[in-house]
Amino acid sequence: MLLHTVNKSPFDRNSLENCLRFAQKGHSILLFEDGIYGALTGTRFETLLKGALKSYNIYVLVPDIQARGMRTENVIDGIKSTDYAGFVDLVAENKTVQAWL
């Protein structure tokens, strides 16, 4: 299994979109740094993410959410909150990490 990491805002770059195009069913995707903006309710990308949750395990890094003034209550239902320790576990649990830089 693969862990995909996305660190850019979906408004700014195409990395999340491309990650979703190539990730296989059951893969994990971690949104961190400016990537967290994709995990929030009320944005233009909410529908895309809700659809993606049917195929992938999606995680978001809480320290990056909080730094940017967002609240975990506003994270789309089904996206799992995690921290750096959880990030480490995700890396350990998956065979390979693929960064969408």
Partner 1 sequence: MKFAILVNEGPYQHQASDSAYQFTQAALKKGHEIFRVFFYHDGVNNASRLTVPPQDDRHIVNRWSELAKAHNLDLVVCIAAAQRRGMLDENEAKRNGKDANNIAEGFRISGLGQLIEAGIQSERLVVFGD
Partner 2 sequence: MEDEGVVKKFLYLNRKAPYGSIYALESLEVVLIGAAFDQDVSLAFIDDGVYQLKKNQQTSVTSGIGVKDFSKTYRALEGYDVEKLYVDKKTMEERGLSTDDLLVPVEVLDDAQMAELMEQQDVVLSF
* Residue from the set 6, 28, 34, 60 that interacts with partner 2 by CB under 8 A: 34
Structure tokens at 67: 């730094």
Please state, in angstroms and as integers, the Cα–Cα distance from residue 60 to each residue in 47, 78, following that order.
17, 11
Q: Which of 31, 91, 88, 14 lies closest to 65, judged by CA?
A: 31
Q: Do residues 60 and 36 lie in contact, with contact meaning Cβ atoms separated by under 8 Å? A: yes
* Per-position x/- string for 42-81, each x denoting binding to partner 1 as judged by CB under 8 A, each - no binding: ---------------------x------------------
Residue 61 C-beta: closest distance to partner 2, Å? 8
Interacting residues toward partner 2 by CB under 8 A = 2, 7-9, 11-12, 14-15, 18, 21-24, 33-34, 37, 40-44, 46, 63-64, 66-71, 95-101
